[in-house]
């Protein structure tokens, strides 16, 4: 097979979609576009959409049509941005979680929705554009799905970080990076995608232990009182300097909501200021000795902190929002602990941590320690990759092996189920609170 001059990489997220156009010979990213997954009208998370698809064939068909149409629109958009004709695109690589990939392909989802939660098949899928209802005679590749809740996005994330063991181009830079196979064992690495499904993979020796914790959409701004995806208008950073609240907004426009990075940073700041207790309770204004007390309102039957207020809107972080973050952080920390147990190592044995997710801005490891996901040692070995799955799909498109290296990597995965396991449930309850607070009883 000849080298494709132009190719499109797609990160098919539950909440957000990311599409890029690359020139495969150089690895240069020519254009990138992002948007919201239009299936959100059927539910904010995977479980809701699977339930809708199982209940109604028509609902599943509509979700399939919606995502195919939106991905094609974004693909045409990156071509338009770069002046590349759609007919010159020779290949597309798509990476998403198993539910999103099943819905894209129009596959039955009952086995995913009910125990034992398995995909119809685990290998990658080669198909023609016409199979997706797209015009053109090129080919699409959908990444392997090692398990029911560990999918192509996790495989792509790891592939992008590990490379193929040959001469590869660094995605988005056009620079060649020659990676020679090392005789030394691979470092004990943890890969964490803090999206709606909280996928995590722990590489120890030849085995990649992987699982997924139902974190919900909170880290991507979903299910929050003023949450939104990391798009223009989202508060992506919030800091408290003295008693003054300073925000950074994507696009430098008037704030319309807050995305995941902003929420996590806001909670760490409010914990540090004593506005939020380690147990997650937001204190009443009368209990707060600083001028920040004036930002705590009683709103819809609970306390809420004013993030931003102007003539158009009032943006709040509510007590319920804090609980949503606690549920997400507790699930991820518990999932990590299960992986450590299965692999037979302690967190202190980790040599590298790689973090990705659609947060909006860099998610600092210190924040994850504050909310209880990381321990002190992990803070110092963590790298943040803003487009993990997308970069991995780009790297795969630059390899002229018809994705054989991707398939070999996927074969090394061992999926660890969390649903219904006593250890996970015990750990989840243990880590619901922020550090410094022991659960009662």
For 183-193, the pLDDT digits (tens) are 344 689 999 99
238-263: average pLDDT = 92
Read off the pLDDT band of 432 (50, 70, 90).
very high
- Alpha-carbon Rg of the chain, whole angstroms? 22
Distances (CA, A) of 73 to 59, 79, 237: 21, 10, 30
pLDDT of 186: 61
Query: pLDDT band for position 163 (50/70/90)?
Result: low
- Residue 429: its pLDDT value, please? 93
Distance, in Å, from the CA atom of 434 to the CA atom of 379, rounded to the nearest integer, reads 16
Rounded Cα distance, 361 and 235, in Å: 10
What pLDDT does residue 198 have?
A: 85
Q: Is the pLDDT score of 87 beyond 60?
A: yes
Confidence (pLDDT) at 183 = 38
**Please, what is the Cα angle at 142 between 140 and 143, to 5 degrees?**
140
- Taking residues 391-417, report their average pLDDT: 95
What is the strand order of the sheet 234-241 is part of?
244-249, 234-241, 257-258
145-150 mean pLDDT: 92
Token representation of residue 144: 């392997």
Supply the pLDDT for residue 362. 72
Do the beta carbons of residue 20 and residue 42 sit within 8 Å? no
Lowest mean pLDDT among 1-5, 278-282, 362-366: 1-5
Mean pLDDT of 132-142: 94
Mean local confidence (pLDDT), 341-355: 94
In sequence order, what DSSP letters do the residues of 182-221 get, joined into one string?
A: PSSPPP-EEEEE-STT-EEEEEETTEEEEEE----GGGGT
pLDDT at 132 over 70: yes
pLDDT band at 162 (very low <50, low <70, confident <90, very high): confident
The pLDDT, as a whole number, for residue 286 is 96
User: Domains along the chain?
Assistant: 6-174 (3.30.420.480), 222-319 (no CATH)
Mean pLDDT taken over the chain: 89
Please compute the mean of the pLDDT values over residues 340-362 and round it to a whole number: 87
pLDDT for 52 equals 97
Contact between 19 and 393 (Cβ < 8 Å): no
């Amino acid at each position: 097979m000849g080298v494709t001059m132009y190719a499109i990489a797609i990160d098919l997220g539950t909440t957000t979609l990311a599409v890029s156009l690359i020139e495969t010979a150089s690895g240069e990213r020519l254009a990138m576009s992002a948007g919201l997954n239009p299936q959100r009208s059927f539910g904010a998370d995977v479980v809701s959409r699977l339930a809708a698809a199982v209940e109604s064939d028509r609902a599943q068909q509509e979700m399939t049509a919606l995502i195919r149409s939106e991905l094609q629109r974004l693909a045409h958009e990156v071509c338009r941005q770069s002046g590349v004709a759609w007919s010159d695109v020779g290949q597309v690589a798509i990476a998403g979680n198993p539910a999103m990939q099943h819905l894209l392909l129009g596959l039955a989802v009952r086995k995913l929705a009910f125990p034992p939660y398995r995909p119809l098949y685990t290998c990658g899928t080669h198909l023609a554009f016409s199979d997706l209802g797209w015009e053109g005679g090129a080919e699409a590749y959908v990444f392997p799905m090692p398990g029911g809740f560990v999918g192509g996005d996790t495989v792509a994330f790891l592939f992008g970080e590990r490379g193929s063991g040959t001469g590869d181009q660094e995605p988005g830079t056009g620079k060649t990076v020659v990676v020679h196979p090392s005789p030394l064992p691979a470092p004990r690495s943890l890969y964490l995608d803090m999206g709606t499904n909280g996928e995590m993979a722990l590489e120890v020796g030849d085995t990649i232990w992987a699982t997924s914790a139902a974190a919900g959409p909170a880290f991507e701004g979903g299910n929050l009182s003023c949450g939104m995806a990391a798009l223009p208008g989202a508060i992506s950073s919030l800091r408290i300097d003295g008693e003054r609240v300073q925000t950074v907004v994507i696009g430098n426009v008037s704030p319309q909501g807050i995305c995941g990075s902003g929420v996590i940073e806001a909670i760490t700041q409010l914990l540090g200021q004593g506005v939020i207790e380690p147990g997650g309770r937001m204190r009443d204004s009368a209990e707060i000795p600083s001028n920040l007390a004036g930002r705590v309102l009683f709103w819809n039957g609970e306390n809420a902190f004013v993030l931003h207020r102007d003539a158009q809107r009032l943006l709040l972080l509510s007590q319920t929002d804090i609980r949503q973050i606690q549920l997400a952080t507790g699930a991820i920390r518990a999932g990590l602990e299960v992986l450590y147990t299965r692999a037979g190592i302690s967190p202190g044995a980790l040599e590298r941590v790689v973090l990705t997710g659609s947060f909006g801005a860099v998610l600092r490891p210190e924040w994850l320690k504050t909310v209880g996901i990381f321990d002190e040692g992990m803070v110092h070995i963590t790298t943040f990759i803003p487009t993990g799955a997308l970069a991995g799909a780009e790297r795969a498109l630059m390899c002229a092996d018809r994705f054989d290296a991707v398939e070999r990597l996927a074969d090394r995965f061992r999926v660890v189920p969390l649903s219904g396991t006593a250890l996970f449930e015990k750990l989840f309850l243990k880590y619901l609170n922020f550090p410094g607070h022991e659960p009662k009883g």
